[in-house]
Amino acid sequence: MNFIIIDDDETNNILCRIIIKQAIGEADVETFVYAREGLDYIESHFAGTTPGDKTVLFLDINMSEMDGWEFLKQYDTLAEDIKSQLRLFILSSSANENDKRKGKENKYMSNYIVKPLRKEVIHSILAAL
């Protein structure tokens, strides 16, 4: 199972690795504190590969330099065969209803998850894949 985590809070990324490990055991987890780097990774890693298992992407919104919304604008320009291999989730500390609504309105967003990430959330995501 593959996970990508894009969040400028290093502590959150460490926590996510631990929670994923506790939920499903060994998994392939890539973390990026810069959204730009995450985007570059996606573009190079998934290009030309045949769609296999879905990769789950947890995206933070409130980031410096490139925030979650800007990331989604750039993501929109990627090739369809790349995007078809990913399932996107917002992982935000904000429980604010406006943030939730805005996140859910985006066509690439499967769901809006309020931090902290929990084992049960990972189980339900995997069950829905």
Partner 1 sequence: MSKSSLSAKSAFHHPNLQALLESVPGQYLILLPDFTMIEASDAYLTATMKHREQIVGHNLFEVFPDNPLDIAARGMDNLRVSLNYVLKHAVPHLMEVQKYDMRTPSGQVNERYWSLYNKPVFNNKHELIYIIHRVEDVTRQVEADLRVKVGEELISLIIDNVKEYALFMLDAKGNITSWNRGAQHINGYKASEIIGKYVSVFYTDEDIHKGIPEFNLKVAKARGRLETEGWRKRKDGSEYWAEVVLTTLYNDDGSVRAISKISRDITEQNKAKEEIKELNATLEQRVIERAAQLQESEKKYHNLFQYNPMPMWVIDEEAFQFLDVNEAAVKHYGYSRKQFLAMSALDLCAQDERERYIQANRTELSGPLNVGIWKHFKKDGTLIYVEGIVHHTTFEGKHALLVLSNDVTEKKIAELHRNKITSDLIQRNKDLEQFAYILSHNLRLPVANILGFSEALQDPALDLSDITEIAKGINASTQRLDEVILDLYNILKVRSGIIGKTESVKFSELVDDIRHSLDTQIKKDHIEFTVDFSEADEINTLKSYLHSILYNLISNSIKYRKANDICSIEIKTQKHASGITLLIKDNGIGMDFSKIKDNLFGLYKRFHPGIEGRGVGLYMVKTQVEALGGTINAQSEPNIGTEFTIDFKFTD
Applying CB under 8 A, the residues found at the interface with partner 1 are: 8-9, 11-12, 14-15, 18-19, 22, 33-34, 62, 64-65, 92-96, 99, 114-119
Which residue number, 24 or 83, has a Cβ lying nearer to partner 1?
A: 24
Least CB distance from residue 114 to partner 1, whole Å?
8
Six-digit token string for 87: 């399932």
Q: Cα(32)–Cα(106) distance, rounded to whole angstroms?
A: 21
Which residue number, 1 or 23, has a Cβ lying nearer to partner 1?
A: 23
**Dihedral angle over CA of 114, 62, 108, 84, nearest 10:** -100
Query: Nearest CA to 56 among 115, 105, 128, 118?
Result: 128
Which residue number, 82 or 125, has a Cβ lying nearer to partner 1?
A: 125
Least CB distance from residue 33 to partner 1, whole Å?
7
DSSP classification of residue 116: S
